[in-house]
Amino acid sequence: MASIAASSAGPDPPRHHCTGVATAYEAGDGNGACLFGPSLDLMIAAMNTTDYETSRACGAYVLVRAANSKTIRVRITSECPLPCAHGQLDLNQEAFAELADLEVGRIPITWQMVSPSTSDTISIKYKTGSSSYWGGIQAIGHRNPVAGLEVKTGDDWLRLPRTEDNYFLSAGGSGCGNSIRITDIYGERLTITGIALRPDIVQSTGAQFARH
């Protein structure tokens, strides 16, 4: 059973609006570059490479507004590589159809990240092959985008680098199986204990970032 300790969130980051275009793609079972696995909710999208920021956008909730004033909320589960341009969202067909006919193919939009109400809690998953010699750690089900992940090593915290497939890597296995600390884009930190080093097993923390 995981246990958590939370620190206060910092000030809200700017809620700027991005301008771009929306296109449509067939998301299949909903799994994508973020490697969250299949999704029952297909209101999802792929983020252009610039705004994907080496998977920093993974799990973000985005409010999308079309020129006809229709709006939808989608979750980022994948990356839209070039020729997707800065500001572009590639929406799952089900999501695009809420804004315009699929035959249109491409529409102007504005969008911004939001911090929605949710009953979900955050889970942690170790990557296939993780051990005390090498490990990858992923956070799943977070309300707000994850800005950083650290593992406890002795009396210190080790900040892990993030990869494009949405894992944080400990190249030498340092800290794997120890306490984990995750920070969202608003500066809130959750310290999680009790997560075992069990590759490919989704382990619930019972915790969630605050809404903004």
110 and 130 inside one domain: no
Residue 17's pLDDT is 84
61 and 76 inside one domain: yes
For 174-196, the pLDDT digits (tens) are 999 999 999 999 999 999 999 99
**CA triplet 183, 80, 187: central angle to 5 degrees?**
10
129 and 185 inside one domain: yes
Mean pLDDT, rounded, of the chain:
94
In the listed set 114, 136, 165, which residue is the last one of a domain according to the structure?
Answer: 114
Residue 12's pLDDT is 55
Which tokens belong to 16? Answer: 């700027």
Distance CA 47, CA 77 (A): 8
Distance CA 143, CA 9 (A): 14
In the listed set 62, 90, 114, which residue is the last one of a domain according to the structure?
Answer: 114
Residue 81 is part of which domain span?
Answer: 18-114
For 61-109, the pLDDT digits (tens) are 999 999 999 999 999 999 999 999 999 999 999 999 999 999 999 999 9
Residue 16's pLDDT is 66
The amino acid that residue 110 corresponds to is T
